Amino acid sequence: MAQLRLLSDMDIHITGPGTGQMYQTFLSDGSVTINLGKLKNSSYQRSTTTYASFMEQYMTAGAPYIKGLYYPINERRNGIKKKELVTLIQRAAKLITDGFRLPVNSRENLAADGQIFIEMCEKDVTFCREVTVRAPLRETSCFDMWAEDMVHEVRQWSSQGFISGKRRIRCPLNHTLLRQLRQKYNIVHETT
């Protein structure tokens, strides 16, 4: 009970992906949560990509009584830097001091990669159906995913897909549209 009381009195909640994201549900109206993200490394054949992963963005998007901030997506691969963290805390404090409109639009509470996921769904009906509709005989890899994996074209989202047993698994994705949206949202996609 003491932990819940502490959370409800907290103005700024700082966490990374995982269980810590679940606590934002207990924040009071007008609080700010800061998601620091983590790094994901994925490899397919010879290429390795490192990218930011915020994972449970849906928790922040589903809490219209708080504001969500995210560590700068293109800077996260350089580690967590004190200057960036202080800037985020100052932004959060200013939001709390100045106040912000409630309810917060769910889309505003997503990181850039989460917003790309929403926009992909709006513009590509086939993609949206594959990632949201569970049906018999439908490839489960297409809805067993995190938005950032799709944004960075990892595994089933790469143009080659991946091999599982004797099957090549590849989900329908308009790569041209995705690359345009990555550019629109200024997400750097690096393959080394």
* pLDDT tens figures, 161-184: 888 889 898 988 999 999 999 999
Q: What is the pLDDT of residue 43?
A: 60
Closest Cα partner for 27 from 18, 37, 14, 16? 14
pLDDT given at position 83: 97
Mark residue 34 as left, alpha or beta (left: phi above 0; alpha: psi -120 to 50; beta: remaining): beta
Hunting for tokens 């809805």 — which residue is that?
Answer: 143
Tell me the domain boundaries of the chain. 2-109, 113-184
Global model pTM greater than 0.95: no
pLDDT-derived band at 192, boundaries 50, 70, 90: very low
Q: How sure is the predictor about 130, in pLDDT bands with cuts at 50, 70 and 90?
A: confident
Of the two residues 139 and 34, the one the predictor is more confident about is 34
